[in-house]
Structure 1
Amino acid sequence: MNFNERVASHDALQAMLGAEGLSLGDVQVQASETGMLACTQPACSSATDLGAGCAAIVLGRPRWPEAALAARAQSDGQAAAVLAAWRDGGEHVLQAMQGNFAVVLVDSRQRRVVLAIDRSGIERLCFTLVGETLVFSTSARAVARHPLVAASISQQALYEYLYCHMVPSPDTAFVGVEKLLPAQAISFTGDALTRRFYWQLGYDIDHSSDDATLRQRFMELTEQGVARQNDEQRPTGAFLSGGTDSSTVSGMLGKVSGKAAETFSIGFDEEGFDELEFARITSRHFGTKPHEYYVTADDVVEAMPLIARAYDEPFGNASAAPTYFCAKMAREHGIEVVLAGDGGDEFFGGNERYAKQGVFEHYHRVPALLRNIMEPLVMKFPLGGSIMPLRKAQSYLQQARVPLPDRMETYNFLHRSPLLEILEPDFLQAVDTERPLELAREAYFRCGSSEMIERMMHLDHKTTLADNDLRKVTRMCEAAGVEVRFPFLDDDLIAFSGQLKPEHKVHKGRLRVLFKDALRGFLPDETITKSKHGFGLPFGIWLNEHGALKQLAEDALISLGKRGIVRPGYLDYLRREHASGHASYYGVMIWVLVELELWLQANATP
């Protein structure tokens, strides 16, 4: 988009589409003097108001609480509703939208372009500004391929990937290209670009309701969330890992649909990794129609290059592989829409680190004078490292002294060894090693609550959910040919989470207190009490046993060692430690590095 000169061309658009394996024949194009808008059908809704000089494209499934706008969306399409709301209230249109969406709105008369994504970050938009030209897409790779942009891969982003195992927003894998954060919008006026958050979770504790009332409200909203995502016109199923989230969604899907839910579960023929029995417990409890698939090492050999090609940025979450095969199984059984349980942890207090970090926060309640006396005594005690109680006390103090959110990265692989032993000096000199922590601090302190638990969940909403888990599930489902929806990210349910006290989420080491208490009697007892697992992958173990997988990984590591990013000596260290009995632990970093190399190869990086 450029309001001052005509720069758009079909050649430029074709270059962007080609980055994602598409052609002009795959999209609907709206062209004007200011630029081009292209969208795939029927995934997108588009509309033009020639009289007002406006055009809009909407991706996703927005929901309109206002009846008139909901009726307009029903009759004329989502983009028409956006234009109607824009005419009436300008950028307040974003507050009127709920659900999952990415929206692009062009107002030629006001010389303004607005880009925005939904509150949870389910959808995605990437962009860059080249002079007076705004280039944008759902794919960072597509933006980078625009001839005016021609962005190279960012060394900084590669460091952030090694640190976070994905590239955290707003950064992308390409120099100068950004991606929107959840509930973020940009406004471009031809000569300026501004960023803002149009929504933030409010923390307004409901003191008038007792716990029984809150539990009932939770169940009602959860059922409503599943009902809103259930598609009565298309075959719909649910992922079922056997945990509380997926089990709740599966049970509620059967309830709202009035028939046995089709559920899809993944297993691994490896001790300590297979959780199919928990999925079976849920299936029997609710009478679902279960479908199971055992992922093998051969599957992983197939999946690793597929994952590298599918993502527009390097992505290192190994559970993308079982997610893909679970989605593929659903598609093979005729399912078009699958419901997933993501989001329950980040809004209701389900991640184990919330309880762990609370233990360290107790230290900061000790008076500073007493801490100043205690710390030297413990940390400098002669031979303290060889005395178990003192060694534990020293470890506790070392971690407790690190403030949040930095403390959450204490065990990060890049903190376990000096960076100069991990990364090549020239690469290290070219990057800002503090950037990942700066991004985490920004999200942590932007939270509307001063409570530690709420701040940690706010950070996880961005990094664990939007930047990682949602990218994992949505992209792998897309690759498998199914649409995924997230009932726990229903806007009313999220708003309800802000009305709960912190102790309703985490209390004395208990996670998701109200969440689990509300589900007692609905879920099997075994499901309520089981520990968290998810689709964990025994990659590190299989790497020692499976020849083709070992060869794939070794070839990738050798190639990566020649790129001037990771020191070959560190790669050798990982190989030794992995082979010496720490297969699962070191397998995590090996997966991250192999996927990086495969992604670099897929994106033709010399």
Structure 2
Amino acid sequence: MCGICGFVSKQNITREQLKIMNDTMIHRGPDDSGEEIYPIRNGYQVGLAQRRLSIMDLSPLGHQPMHSANGRISVVYNGEIYNFQELKEELKDYPFRSTCDTEVIIAAYLKWGIDCISRLNGMFAICIFDREDDTVYLVRDRIGKKPLYYELSDGNLIFGSELKPLMAREGFQKRIRKDVLSRYLFQQYINAPDSIFEQVYKLEPGGILQFHYGEVKTWKYWDIKNVYHEMRKNPVTDYEQAKSELKALLQKAVKSRMIADVPLGAFLSGGYDSSLMTAMAQEASSEPVKTFSIGFHEERYNEAGYARAVAEHLGTKHTELIIDEAEMFKLVESIPKYYDEPFADSSQIATMLVSKLAREQVTVALSGDGGDEFFCGYNIYENVRQAQRLDMLGGMVHGICNLPGLKQAGLEGKLPFRVRVIAGNRGKESKTQFGAGNYVTRAQKMVLGEGQPCHFEIESEYGVSDWQIRRMLLDMDTYLPGDILCKVDRASMKYSLEARCPILDKEVMEYSFRMDHSLKYDKGNKKRILKDIAYDYIKRELLDRPKVGFGVPMDQWLRGPLREQLTDMCSREYLKKQRIFDADFTADMIEGYMKTGDKGPATGENYSKLTWSFFTFQQWYQTYMK
């Protein structure tokens, strides 16, 4: 696990400047660093840099940039290739010097070219420089576990694992993209390929960028919708077969992620996914696995007792930390430093706390991320199924409410909230993304100028009629990489901790697409098959309970200790100088939010999420734009 950055540029970027860029990511790789610059043809030079967190082959032989034995290839890379030992068997002709997976990438490229990426099973952000034709490739793993930003300007390419190295480059233009802000306020993250800055992009999950003397090509070697339909050609419908084969794939994925030359443990919330990953890790280990959980004094957030019970059942070496609101609050001001793009998923704070706890004993931690998206675990999937059943009726209600006279009377706005949501869900490209329409309206009105739609209006691309499946695929493309994996990456790397996700193994993901949907969701039983595998290891009564999840008391904070700061951020004078938000509308909305109190999510009138998104944007702005 590391951080990488570099460039292909005609500008005179010195090694000292490259080191400044690289050192902005010292938290991602405190153990070693390397910066090199190579002149190439047509007036370009290539710069490659890496900050290293030593996981495999702790010796200097793992240093990067790493070069091929013949000098043709140079690589900087962030991540883990879990099948590197199998690939090494196929690459015996190469004169390996190290035992790390980076050198396997080099050997694979020399044998198979850039198509070697499809053979890699892991999480990664890679830059490959091929001196044979002066081509540079940027590559990102299939599901977007590892981040990779790039800037294209004046025929130059600059890239980095985070935005900080790009911002540290001399001459970088901090021009905010206002068109992404309404969607950010609504979704609470900025999804690839967009970023907060003009001319800066995120390489999409499963994506490759080729740069050759200023010419740029991008394509996907692994795309959710295409892989889904390809896998569906060979479906698995038998439940016992699916359970047996999926269990074996998960066991293999967990075992491969336990290969490390440093201490390893697991996050344990006590839910199905983290408990199953921990159980399989314990099964594969010759000694008790170290597990970590945090708890809260506030009972509505506290799952520590469940995690403790699972740990005792499995026999792990468990560490638990009970924290209070004050400890969570202390981390608020550090959010923009480590999430160097506006990001407003408040569970980032709890994720940072459990990462800090784990890092005191281990350098690698297993997590259960991906179980909800690939095996139908979120409550929204139940709501989506109900919404599809009621869609025709909702269309009739919408039509009646828009008859002459009734429309003028605003009848639809007077309907009960849930009825109003179903009736208003008329967007053909966003059927599974229904919600409070006034949230969308307010997010759009807050920002000056035209912006992107708040929803991802791409649902027809999936070619799936079942709304539940369609929403799962959409979440794999957007919410999982843009929010969940971003949250875990930045939170864990804040403390130089590597998080590994067995459920997001290539073979597991692709096998999940082959499974008939009824094996995942059956008459309201979400995540059916994953639960049944978990029951093979853990007593049912230890796992069966409502999903809680991490969160913070944002309403109390925004109306309490953050009130003065928020008031300054939304003052009309400040907003008019900033020229990003509609000063009058935004100030009125947030002032109203602070006065009215919590009306409850069922009304669609508690704007805490929009306000928190606004607050975290302004916090980011004051950190980087002042």
Q: TM (normalized to structure 2)?
A: 0.84
Contact residue 2 and residue 190 of structure 1 kept, 8 A: no
Contact residue 354 and residue 506 of structure 1 kept, 8 A: no
Seen in structure 2, the aligned counterparts of structure 1 residues 267 and 406 have a Cα distance that, compared at 3 Å, is same
Which residue of 17, 20, 24 maps to 2:22?
17
Q: Distance in 2 between matches of 1:522 and 1:13?
A: 50
Contact residue 163 and residue 413 of structure 1 kept, 8 A: no
Alignment map for 1:85-104 (pairs within 5 Å): 85-104=108-127
Match of 2:59 in 1: none
Residue 36 (1) aligns with residue 47 (2): yes
Contact residue 219 and residue 519 of structure 1 kept, 8 A: no
- Structure 1 letter corresponding to 2:253: G
- Structure 2 letter corresponding to 1:572: E
Residue 190 (1) aligns with residue 218 (2): no
Q: Distance in 1 between matches of 2:436 and 2:367?
A: 29
Seen in structure 2, the aligned counterparts of structure 1 residues 242 and 577 have a Cα distance that, compared at 3 Å, is farther
Seen in structure 2, the aligned counterparts of structure 1 residues 358 and 31 have a Cα distance that, compared at 3 Å, is same
Match of 2:452 in 1: 433
Match of 1:598 in 2: 619
Match of 1:529 in 2: 544
Which residue of 320, 323, 329 maps to 1:292?
320
- Structure 2 letter corresponding to 1:32: Y
Residue 167 (1) aligns with residue 167 (2): no
Seen in structure 2, the aligned counterparts of structure 1 residues 390 and 83 have a Cα distance that, compared at 3 Å, is closer
Measured after TM superposition, the shift of residue 185 of structure 1 is: 0.8
Seen in structure 2, the aligned counterparts of structure 1 residues 560 and 496 have a Cα distance that, compared at 3 Å, is farther
Contact residue 181 and residue 462 of structure 1 kept, 8 A: no
Which residue of 180, 199, 203 maps to 1:176?
199
Match of 1:311 in 2: 339
Q: Distance in 2 between matches of 1:222 and 1:234?
A: 22
Seen in structure 2, the aligned counterparts of structure 1 residues 31 and 250 have a Cα distance that, compared at 3 Å, is same
Measured after TM superposition, the shift of residue 18 of structure 1 is: 5.7
Match of 2:489 in 1: 474
Q: Distance in 2 between matches of 1:482 and 1:101?
A: 15
Seen in structure 2, the aligned counterparts of structure 1 residues 571 and 502 have a Cα distance that, compared at 3 Å, is same
- Structure 2 letter corresponding to 1:270: E
- Structure 2 letter corresponding to 1:17: N
Measured after TM superposition, the shift of residue 522 of structure 1 is: 2.3
Percent same amino acid among aligned pairs?
24
Match of 1:572 in 2: 591
Seen in structure 2, the aligned counterparts of structure 1 residues 224 and 552 have a Cα distance that, compared at 3 Å, is farther
Contact residue 273 and residue 371 of structure 2 kept, 8 A: yes
Contact residue 242 and residue 282 of structure 1 kept, 8 A: yes
Match of 1:501 in 2: 516
Q: Distance in 2 between matches of 1:25 and 1:233?
A: 14
For the residue of structure 2 that corresponds to 1:106, the secondary structure is strand
* Structure 1 range deviating more: 19-28 or 34-43: 19-28
Residue 283 (1) aligns with residue 311 (2): yes
Measured after TM superposition, the shift of residue 577 of structure 1 is: 2.9
Q: Distance in 1 between matches of 2:200 and 2:415?
A: 49
Alignment map for 1:317-466 (pairs within 5 Å): 317-332=345-360, 334-363=361-390, 376-377=399-400, 391=416, 394-395=419-420, 397-405=422-430, 407-411=432-436, 414-415=439-440, 417=442, 419-420=444-445, 423=446, 427-429=447-449, 431-434=450-453, 436-437=454-455, 440-442=456-458, 444-447=459-462, 451-466=466-481
Measured after TM superposition, the shift of residue 419 of structure 1 is: 3.8
Contact residue 360 and residue 396 of structure 1 kept, 8 A: no
Measured after TM superposition, the shift of residue 408 of structure 1 is: 1.0
For the residue of structure 2 that corresponds to 1:61, the secondary structure is strand
Contact residue 56 and residue 83 of structure 1 kept, 8 A: yes
Measured after TM superposition, the shift of residue 338 of structure 1 is: 1.3
Residue 270 (1) aligns with residue 289 (2): no
Seen in structure 2, the aligned counterparts of structure 1 residues 349 and 407 have a Cα distance that, compared at 3 Å, is closer
Seen in structure 2, the aligned counterparts of structure 1 residues 258 and 191 have a Cα distance that, compared at 3 Å, is same
- Structure 2 letter corresponding to 1:82: I
Measured after TM superposition, the shift of residue 4 of structure 1 is: 8.4
For the residue of structure 1 that corresponds to 2:589, the secondary structure is helix
Measured after TM superposition, the shift of residue 196 of structure 1 is: 0.6
Q: Distance in 1 between matches of 2:509 and 2:561?
A: 45
Contact residue 254 and residue 502 of structure 2 kept, 8 A: yes
For the residue of structure 1 that corresponds to 2:166, the secondary structure is helix
Residue 248 (1) aligns with residue 269 (2): no
Seen in structure 2, the aligned counterparts of structure 1 residues 6 and 144 have a Cα distance that, compared at 3 Å, is closer
Contact residue 29 and residue 37 of structure 1 kept, 8 A: yes
Measured after TM superposition, the shift of residue 343 of structure 1 is: 0.7
Measured after TM superposition, the shift of residue 395 of structure 1 is: 2.8
Seen in structure 2, the aligned counterparts of structure 1 residues 527 and 191 have a Cα distance that, compared at 3 Å, is same
Measured after TM superposition, the shift of residue 327 of structure 1 is: 1.3
Q: Distance in 2 between matches of 1:197 and 1:244?
A: 32
Seen in structure 2, the aligned counterparts of structure 1 residues 574 and 496 have a Cα distance that, compared at 3 Å, is same
- Structure 2 letter corresponding to 1:27: S
For the residue of structure 1 that corresponds to 2:369, the secondary structure is coil
Seen in structure 2, the aligned counterparts of structure 1 residues 185 and 236 have a Cα distance that, compared at 3 Å, is same
Q: Distance in 2 between matches of 1:550 and 1:3?
A: 45
Measured after TM superposition, the shift of residue 148 of structure 1 is: 4.8
Alignment map for 1:539-558 (pairs within 5 Å): 539-541=554-556, 548-551=561-564, 553-554=566-567, 556=569
Q: Distance in 1 between matches of 2:505 and 2:151?
A: 30
* Structure 1 range deviating more: 189-198 or 11-20: 11-20
- Structure 2 letter corresponding to 1:48: H
- Residue ranges of structure 2 left out of the alignment (5+ in a row): 1-5, 40-44, 55-62
Measured after TM superposition, the shift of residue 506 of structure 1 is: 2.5
Q: Distance in 1 between matches of 2:171 and 2:465?
A: 44
Match of 2:529 in 1: 514
Seen in structure 2, the aligned counterparts of structure 1 residues 285 and 385 have a Cα distance that, compared at 3 Å, is farther
- Structure 2 letter corresponding to 1:30: E
For the residue of structure 2 that corresponds to 1:494, the secondary structure is helix
- 1:159-188 residue CA offsets vs partner (Å, 9 max, x unmatched): 332122111111112111001111111111
Seen in structure 2, the aligned counterparts of structure 1 residues 258 and 372 have a Cα distance that, compared at 3 Å, is closer
Measured after TM superposition, the shift of residue 68 of structure 1 is: 3.1
Say what the alpha-carbon RMSD is for the aligned residues: 3.5
Q: How many residues align?
A: 588
Q: Distance in 1 between matches of 2:97 and 2:526?
A: 40
Measured after TM superposition, the shift of residue 240 of structure 1 is: 1.5
For the residue of structure 1 that corresponds to 2:276, the secondary structure is helix
Measured after TM superposition, the shift of residue 142 of structure 1 is: 2.0
Measured after TM superposition, the shift of residue 140 of structure 1 is: 2.3
Seen in structure 2, the aligned counterparts of structure 1 residues 490 and 581 have a Cα distance that, compared at 3 Å, is closer
Alignment map for 1:26-105 (pairs within 5 Å): 27-33=33-39, 34-42=45-53, 45-49=64-68, 51=70, 53-62=72-81, 63-64=83-84, 65-68=86-89, 75=98, 77-105=100-128
Seen in structure 2, the aligned counterparts of structure 1 residues 448 and 376 have a Cα distance that, compared at 3 Å, is closer
Q: Distance in 2 between matches of 1:56 and 1:377?
A: 62
Q: Distance in 1 between matches of 2:532 and 2:304?
A: 24
Q: Distance in 2 between matches of 1:382 and 1:401?
A: 18
- Structure 2 letter corresponding to 1:41: R
- Structure 1 letter corresponding to 2:596: E
- Structure 2 letter corresponding to 1:441: E
For the residue of structure 1 that corresponds to 2:77, the secondary structure is strand
Residue 223 (1) aligns with residue 255 (2): no
Q: Distance in 1 between matches of 2:400 and 2:568?
A: 50
Match of 1:120 in 2: 143
- 1:316-372 residue CA offsets vs partner (Å, 9 max, x unmatched): 11111111111112223x2221111111111111122222112222356x6xxx998
* Structure 1 range deviating more: 155-164 or 248-257: 155-164
Measured after TM superposition, the shift of residue 69 of structure 1 is: 5.0
